[in-house]
């Protein structure tokens, strides 16, 4: 046949001269197979609707020449592998060429091992697989091109390895689980999915399995406590489920007691803690230190606070936090604060050691940082010259605008309360007082968080008594009395304020006494003892006049006017409000007091039937108040609704609904009054 071939032939060899025999061998086992390597689906999978929807969307995207891939990350024990397997089972029928699973075992196996496993799974005989890693990867690309495969790579350390393994097939999907966040690979097409611990409701669903449902439902409070001790981590929940399954005579409360003792909890959760131990072993000494200190305080801190805590520059602190975040030991919330999950917090604190005295120094630096930042924020949000019993020396340029200061106070409220707790535990009494009298009181004048602030002020009273600081004790009792008035606890409020006046008189501090008399007067006014209230306010006004404090005089005139109005002495009340308005004009930085005067004057105009004038003043007050405080706008809204109703104009209901929402958010007793108005209207 010469050099020309006609017809079919499986093997052709062209030779010039033949000596001996020629043997032709077929390649055996080289035909592709469709592997099905997925492990069994999780038995009781809950939640994860959002991340599942993200993967569904990824699957539905149109691609050419490149597989879709997702990096599923999260803290150890959060359920990364279970999530990946669950979704894979939901979609496996769509991958007709098979599903391949490979466990990198946290770096114990490498890229070459993964490529070889995938080739074997696809039907390539061992003797045909080249020894070099690059050649294995190249062969895998040939075998996966244009095929419809699902890959699951578990416990990946080097995420770039997965990038090398991506098939050149738009019909394939690659999932990988890792303790490292995949956000940095988004530019390479990766979809980063960072799993969070289960919320309490879903964690209860996980606990409420068929054989445990009756026991869990019989003790809902104990079940909620048991779930809280798991930190929402499936690995810990599964330990609890196993414990209850073995101990069939145990109540849920008994299981809670078992996990309340630290050494027992450590034993039961040893697998979760062992995983965290491995992660910490990979950290530098500085990173491990930051991790441990975050566990020591147990709060969500911004980078600046972490820098103070660890005695680092902010740049270095950010670098360490970025690494801790990348390997999923630390989370970052939408306030740019860094935090640890509950069980991780306990583990992190243990890494410091029980005798680490330097951690106390770290907490001291942290409290000092919050005290300094809080002093800046306080002076930007409230009148700089207002009374403060701990007058922190604020040097340098204030880092905040007014809006930034208020935003900072709101975002750091929980941390400020945490600093009060930490300072009280360490008997740093002046810090407790400064934090309560400064940033926490400044925030209370904008937003209301009664329960937390009352508890903090009780700590401040205790601290003032401990160091025998009479002016501070009087001030803290006065502030606490004011909150009790706002909460409707009037008898307790009056007793607290009376004690504040007595302490201030013993201290011989005229400005503190003027303040204490003012707060006592407010309690008397709330109890409808208006004459006695006026006496207090006039005495406080006289003390402010002697001290040359014009702003204090303005506030007392305003309060006198309110009590005169309550007595029906409306013309005298309007004169008092006029005097207050003139005096406060000398303090352009005080935006709150003029609005309060306007609202009080509007009440008088309403009592006189002058609703047009009242409505005009109230609208101006609402406009001015919206710029700085959500809570303070509720009262003028409620009053404006009254005037609009009296004038027969629309808009009253909308005003009341907005006021009710504000009062309810603050858990103010005034909400009930507004509800009645809405039901009557």
When pLDDT is averaged across residues 176-199 and rounded to a whole number, the result is: 92
Residues 281 and 263 in one domain: no
Answer whether residue 459 shows pLDDT above 60: yes
pLDDT tens-digit series, residues 540-597:
999 999 999 999 999 999 999 999 999 999 999 999 999 999 999 998 888 889 999 9
pLDDT at residue 8 above 80? Answer: no
Residue 494: predicted pLDDT? 97
The reported pLDDT for the residue numbered 26 is: 46
Whether 577 maps to a domain, the answer reads no
The model's confidence at residue 21, banded by pLDDT at 50, 70 and 90, is low
| Residue 10: pLDDT band with limits 50, 70, 90 | very low
Which of 214-223, 435-444, 664-673 has the highest mean predicted lDDT (pLDDT)?
A: 435-444
User: Residue 27: what pLDDT?
Assistant: 45
Q: What is the arithmetic mean of pLDDT over 287-307?
A: 95
Residue 33's Cα: distance from chain center in Å?
Answer: 49
Q: What is the pLDDT of residue 295?
A: 93
- Residues 143-147: what's their mean pLDDT? 91
Last residue of a domain, one of 315, 333, 356: 356
Question: Bigger pLDDT: 386 or 18?
Answer: 386
Domain with residue 84: its CATH number is 3.40.50.300
User: Same structural domain for residues 328 and 254?
Assistant: no
Residues 165 and 226 in one domain: no
Q: How many domains does the chain have?
A: 3
pLDDT of residue 668: 85
Indicate if 208 and 318 belong to the same structural domain.
no
Does residue 280 share a domain with residue 225?
Answer: no
318 domain residue, yes or no: yes
The reply to whether 138 and 69 lie within a common domain is: yes
For residue 17, what pLDDT band results from cuts at 50, 70 and 90?
low
In a domain, 456, yes or no: no
Same domain for 352 and 307: yes
Q: Is pLDDT of 671 > 80?
A: yes
Q: How confident is the model at residue 358 (pLDDT cuts 50, 70, 90)?
A: confident
Domain end, chosen from 251, 268, 285, is at 268
Does the model's pTM come out above 0.85? no
Burial class, 26, CB count within 10 angstroms (exposed 0-12 / middle 13-18 / buried 19+): exposed
Checking 625-629 for CB contacts under 8 A at 24+ apart, the result is 625/592, 625/595, 627/591, 628/402, 628/406, 628/446, 628/591, 628/592, 629/445, 629/446, 629/447, 629/592
Q: Cα dist. 450→72, 485, 672 in Å?
A: 41, 11, 17
What pLDDT is attached to residue 624?
A: 86
The pLDDT of residue 268 is 85
Q: Examine residue 367 and state whether it is found in any structural domain, yes or no.
A: no
Long-range CB contacts (within 8 A, 24+) of 341-344: 341/75, 341/197, 341/231, 341/232, 341/233, 342/197, 342/228, 342/229, 342/230, 342/231, 342/232, 343/77, 343/230, 343/231, 343/233, 343/236, 343/269, 343/272, 343/273, 344/75, 344/231, 344/276, 344/295
Asked whether residue 355 carries a pLDDT value surpassing 80, the answer given is no
Pair 96, 150 in one domain: yes
Q: Of the ranges 290-299, 381-390, 589-598, which is most confident? A: 290-299
**Residue 270, pLDDT score:** 87
What average pLDDT score do residues 410-424 get? 96
152 within some domain: yes
Q: For position 30, what pLDDT does the model report?
A: 57
| Average pLDDT value for the chain | 90
- Let me know whether 295 and 253 are in one domain: no
Do 209 and 288 fall into the same domain?
Answer: no
CATH code for the domain of 326: 1.10.10.10
| Residue 141 burial (CB count, 10 A) | 16
Answer yes or no: is 73 within a domain: yes
Residue 569 placed within a domain: no
Query: Percentage of the chain with pLDDT > 70?
Result: 94
| Residue 13 or residue 108, greater confidence | 108
In a domain, 540, yes or no: no
Same domain, 252 and 308: no
Q: Domain residues for 69? A: 49-194
Residue 259 and residue 186 in one domain = no
Q: Which of 268, 285, 316 is the last residue of a domain?
A: 268
- List CB contacts of 601: < 8 A, sequence separation 6 or more: 561, 574, 577, 617
- Give 508: exposed, middle or buried? Use CB within 10 Å, 0-12, 13-18, 19+: exposed
Tell me the pLDDT tens digit for each residue of 492-508.
999 999 999 999 999 99
């Amino acid at each position: 046949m010469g050099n020309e071939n006609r017809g079919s032939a499986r093997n052709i060899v062209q030779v010039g001269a033949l000596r001996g025999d020629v043997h032709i061998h077929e390649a055996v086992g080289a035909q592709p197979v469709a592997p099905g390597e997925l492990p069994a689906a999780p038995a009781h999978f809950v939640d994860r609707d959002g991340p599942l929807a993200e993967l569904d969307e990824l699957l539905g995207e149109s691609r050419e020449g490149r597989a879709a891939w997702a990096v599923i990350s999260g803290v150890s024990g959060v359920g990364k592998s279970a999530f990946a397997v669950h979704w894979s089972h939901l979609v496996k029928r769509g991958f007709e060429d098979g599903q391949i699973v490979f466990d990198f075992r946290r770096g114990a196996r490498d890229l070459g091992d993964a490529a070889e496993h995938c080739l074997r799974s696809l039907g390539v005989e061992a003797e045909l697989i080249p020894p070099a890693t690059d050649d294995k990867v190249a062969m895998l690309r040939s075998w996966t091109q244009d095929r419809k495969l699902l890959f699951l790579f578990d416990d990946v350390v080097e995420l770039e390895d997965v990038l090398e393994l991506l098939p050149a097939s738009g019909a394939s999907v690659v999932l990988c689980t890792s303790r490292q966040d995949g956000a940095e690979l988004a530019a390479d097409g990766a979809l980063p999915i960072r799993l969070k611990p289960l919320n309490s409701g879903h964690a209860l669903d996980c606990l409420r399995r068929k054989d445990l449902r009756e026991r869990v439902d019989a003790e809902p409070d104990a079940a909620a406590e048991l779930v809280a001790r798991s930190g929402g981590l499936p690995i810990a929940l599964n330990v609890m489920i196993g414990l209850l399954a073995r101990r069939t005579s145990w109540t849920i409360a008994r299981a809670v007691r078992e996990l309340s003792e630290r050494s027992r909890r450590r034993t039961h959760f040893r697998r979760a803690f062992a995983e965290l131990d491995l992660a910490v072993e990979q950290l530098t000494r500085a990173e491990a230190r930051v991790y441990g200190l975050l566990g020591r305080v147990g709060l969500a801190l911004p980078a600046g606070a972490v820098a103070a805590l660890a005695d680092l520059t902010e740049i270095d602190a950010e670098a360490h936090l970025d690494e801790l975040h990348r390997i999923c030991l630390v989370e970052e919330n939408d306030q740019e604060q860094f935090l640890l999950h509950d069980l991780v917090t306990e583990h992190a604190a243990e890494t410091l050691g029980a005798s680490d005295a330097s951690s106390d120094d770290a907490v001291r630096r942290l409290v000092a940082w919050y005290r300094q930042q809080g002093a800046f924020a306080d002076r930007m949000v409230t009148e700089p010259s207002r009374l403060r019993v701990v007058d922190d020396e604020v040097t340098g340029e204030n880092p905040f605008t007014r809006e930034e200061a208020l935003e900072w106070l709101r975002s750091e409220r929980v941390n400020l309360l945490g600093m009060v707790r930490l300072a009280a535990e360490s008997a740093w009494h002046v810090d407790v007082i400064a934090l309560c009298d400064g940033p926490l009181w400044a925030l209370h004048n904008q937003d209301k968080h009664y329960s937390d602030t009352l508890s903090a002020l009780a700590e401040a009273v205790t601290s003032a008594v401990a160091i025998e600081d009479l002016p501070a004790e009087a001030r803290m009792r006065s502030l606490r009395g004011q909150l009790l008035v706002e909460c409707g606890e009037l008898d307790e409020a009056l007793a607290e304020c009376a004690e504040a006046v007595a302490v201030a008189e013993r201290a011989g501090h005229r400005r503190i006494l003027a303040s204490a008399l003012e707060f006592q007067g407010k309690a008397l006014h709330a109890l409808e003892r208006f004459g006695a209230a006026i006496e207090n306010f006039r005495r406080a006004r006289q003390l402010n006049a002697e001290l040359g404090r014009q702003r204090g005089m303005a506030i007392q005139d305003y309060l006198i006017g309110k009590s005169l109005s309550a007595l029906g002495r409306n013309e005298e009340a309007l004169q008092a409000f006029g005097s207050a308005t003139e005096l406060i004009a000398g303090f352009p930085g005080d935006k709150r007091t003029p609005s309060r005067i306007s609202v009080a004057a509007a009440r008088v105009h309403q009592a006189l039937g002058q609703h047009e004038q009242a409505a005009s003043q109230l609208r101006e007050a609402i406009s001015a108040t919206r710029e700085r405080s959500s809570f303070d706008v509720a009262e003028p809204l409620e009053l404006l609704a009254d005037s609009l109703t009296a004038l027969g104009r629309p808009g009253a209901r909308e005003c009341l609904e907005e006021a009710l929402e504000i009062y309810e958010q603050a858990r103010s007793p005034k909400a009930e009054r507004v509800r009645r108005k809405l039901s009557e209207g």
